[in-house]
Chains A and B, each alone.
Chain A
Amino acid sequence: MLLASLVEPSFGLIFWMTLSFLAVLFILAKFAWKPILNGLKEREASIADSLNEAKKAREEIAAMNARNEDLMREAREEREVLLKEARDIRDREIATAKERAKAEGDAMLARAREDIRNEKNAAIAEMKNEVAQLSILVAERILKEKLGDPAAQKALVDKVMAEADQRKS
């Protein structure tokens, strides 16, 4: 009896179950499951979209950053180039200025040396003249002193002649 009452489906329950369960199934399918499943799908789609958009935005920002970095690097390189050029120009300017100054200095030095040499030569020449005149003067005085008498003059001539003879032989 116990088992029988358990495994024997009662007609009434089958009847009500079939009727009400199917009715609820259709009502829920139309008014509950459809909006719920659609809502879930839409939300999932919107979340996926948002994530995709966020990812895209992140990528864009990364790309922008990369571009910015590129620009920065280019600017830096350009600055380097400009600086280098400026330095070059400065160096060149300085070098040319130095060269010109050196050349001018050299020229001035050369001129000075020339002047000095000329002065020196002139001075030497003058000195030579002075010395020559002094020598002549001295020689005149000595000659006047030594060759005042004719004997002495003759002795000298003889001596010179002798010497000349010596030289000739």
Chain B
Amino acid sequence: MKCLPSRPQTGGNPLMRSFGNILRTASLLIGSLAFGTLVAQHEGHDLPASGTVQHGVDAVPAHANEAPDHRASEKFNPGKMIMDHIGDEHGWHLWGHTSLPLPVILFDTERGLKVFSSSRFDHGHATYDGYALIDHTVVAVDPQGHEDETASANIWDISITKNVVSLFVSLGVLLIVFISVAKAYTRRAGQAPTGLQNLVEPIILFVRDDVAKSAIGEHKCMKFMPYLLTAFFFIFLNNLMGLVPFFPGGANLTGNIAITLVLALITFVIVTVNGNKNYWGHILAMPGVPAWVLVILTPVEILGMFLKPFVLMIRLFANITAGHIIALSFFSLIFVFGETNAGAGYGVAIGSLAFTIFMTVLELLVAFIQAYVFTFLSAMYIGAALEEHHEHKESII
């Protein structure tokens, strides 16, 4: 087992890293708008630190520095525990020291496609074939075990991670459930729904009548129903699966920015492709607005075009992640207090458990609300892109 160096790094791919930087800056901007200058200044000081310098200090997993036999006596680190739970990992931690190894698939632009089991990394304690796992990220290492940054930039990591497995499981569930429900509709055409049909039909009707029809319009909406329904059930199912603390739930999929990014991107593509003359007219040259105002307004409208899906992405990600963080924080309190005194741990457990249960119940509500909000806003944006008449509506972000 090679000891891995502690050095600043954030991720494997420069493209993703730059996107992360943009997002970080954007979230700080949003934060500064929301909490005022004090917080913004404070966070502003944090920015370079969290970006580069301090990174090395907390970047290395606790057990990467320590020998494996110290694992059991590791000091409990709630921040790390929470981040491990809401983040992604190669392999799926099931219980104790048992993990489900998952395939690591790397496309190295120099070395070609590499496929091997995540168990080869031994949870970041080992290197394999010139690759190592640092901070849940696969990086290239030289024979001495030091990260080779130029080689790491060549890695496109398309491993089947915990989140990818969760993604496949949820999509599989969606396929099984809705194809079987669809069969019921063709087999029992025109009859009252039974079983699973009963469960999903009210939601389908809700999405159709209260989301699509109200936001897009009676006739135009049918074209977009497949996306709206798939997005709704995908988000709803994964929100719920994220609340299940054990396999195959527990992956924080809808609280992962990559997932919400793709969903928001699909909405953006649908809106942009289906935008009619009226929609583009309102963006590029708002009718009835003097030319000198357009100089300001048009860039704002163009920005808004991208801001809408961006906010869709952030909202879902932030809501679900925040819920997980809060529930896990309450849970962590038990162990934080338990480390100082076992009695205190048990004492706090009562309150913590109550709060965790409360948060989880709240998250059940949020699971539905966020799926609804994402779908409804997507439908609103699509509806705005298809709008024919020349009414000036407030744009909703």
A residues neighboring B (CB under 8 Å): 1-18, 20-22, 24-25, 27-29, 31-40, 42-43, 46
A39 touches B178 (CB 8 A): no
A28 touches B185 (CB 8 A): no
Tell me the chain B residues, 231-260 only, with Cβ under 8 Å from chain A: 234, 256-259
Which residues of B lie under 8 Å from residue A35 when comparing CB positions?
182-183, 185-186
B178 touches A10 (CB 8 A): no
Which residues of B lie under 8 Å from residue A21 when comparing CB positions?
167, 171, 230, 234, 262-263, 266
Which residues of B lie under 8 Å from residue A9 when comparing CB positions?
16, 19-20, 256-258, 261
Which residues of B lie under 8 Å from residue A17 when comparing CB positions?
167, 258-259, 262
User: Contacts A7-B24, A24-B174 given: A37-B256 contact, CB under 8 Å?
Assistant: no
B20 touches A8 (CB 8 A): yes
CB closest residue in chain B, given A18 = B262
**In the complex, what distance in Å separates the CA atom of A95 from the CA atom of B380?**
93
A36 touches B135 (CB 8 A): no
Which residues of B lie under 8 Å from residue A6 when comparing CB positions?
83, 86-87, 257, 321
B230 touches A36 (CB 8 A): no
**In the complex, what distance in Å separates the CA atom of A8 from the CA atom of B178?**
32
A/B pair count, beta carbons within 8 Å: 172
Chain A proximity mask over B5-28: 1 for CB below 8 Å, otherwise 0: 000001111011101100110010
User: Interface size class for chain B?
Assistant: 35 or more
**What 6 A-B pairs come out closest when comparing CB atoms?**
A8-B20, A39-B185, A29-B226, A9-B258, A32-B178, A13-B258
A36 touches B258 (CB 8 A): no
Which residues of A lie under 8 Å from residue B23 when comparing CB positions?
7-8
**In the complex, what distance in Å separates the CA atom of A11 from the CA atom of B185?**
38
**A contacts with B: majority SS:** helix
16 pairs of residues in contact across A and B, judged by CB atoms under 8 Å: A1-B50, A1-B59, A3-B50, A4-B50, A6-B321, A12-B159, A13-B161, A13-B164, A20-B167, A25-B226, A27-B179, A28-B226, A32-B175, A33-B225, A42-B189, A43-B190
**In the complex, what distance in Å separates the CA atom of A7 from the CA atom of B22?**
9
Partner of B230, one of A13, A15, A24, A43: A24
B88 touches A10 (CB 8 A): yes
**In the complex, what distance in Å separates the CA atom of A39 from the CA atom of B200?**
14
Of the listed residues A3, A24, A36, A42, the one surrounded by the most CB atoms of chain B closer than 10 A to its CB is A36
Contact stretch, chosen from B201-209, B292-300, B356-364: B201-209
Tell me the chain B residues, 43-84 only, with Cβ under 8 Å from chain A: 50-51, 54-55, 58-59, 79, 83
**In the complex, what distance in Å separates the CA atom of A57 from the CA atom of B35?**
66
**In the complex, what distance in Å separates the CA atom of A28 from the CA atom of B227?**
9
A40 touches B204 (CB 8 A): yes
A32 touches B182 (CB 8 A): yes
User: Contacts A7-B27, A43-B190 given: A13-B10 contact, CB under 8 Å?
Assistant: no
Which residues of B lie under 8 Å from residue A5 when comparing CB positions?
10-11, 83, 87, 135-136
Least CB distance from A24 to B in Å reads: 5
Which residues of A lie under 8 Å from residue B175 when comparing CB positions?
24, 27-28, 32
**In the complex, what distance in Å separates the CA atom of A40 from the CA atom of B226?**
14
CB closest residue in chain A, given B228 = A33
Partner of A13, one of B178, B204, B222, B256: B256
Of the listed residues B204, B226, B256, the one surrounded by the most CB atoms of chain A closer than 10 A to its CB is B226
Chain A proximity mask over B258-275: 1 for CB below 8 Å, otherwise 0: 110111001000000000
Of the listed residues A1, A2, A20, A39, the one surrounded by the most CB atoms of chain B closer than 10 A to its CB is A1
A10 touches B19 (CB 8 A): no
B178 touches A36 (CB 8 A): yes
Which residues of A lie under 8 Å from residue B263 when comparing CB positions?
21
Q: Does B229 contact A (CB under 8 A)?
A: yes
B225 touches A7 (CB 8 A): no
CB closest residue in chain B, given A9 = B258
B230 touches A29 (CB 8 A): yes
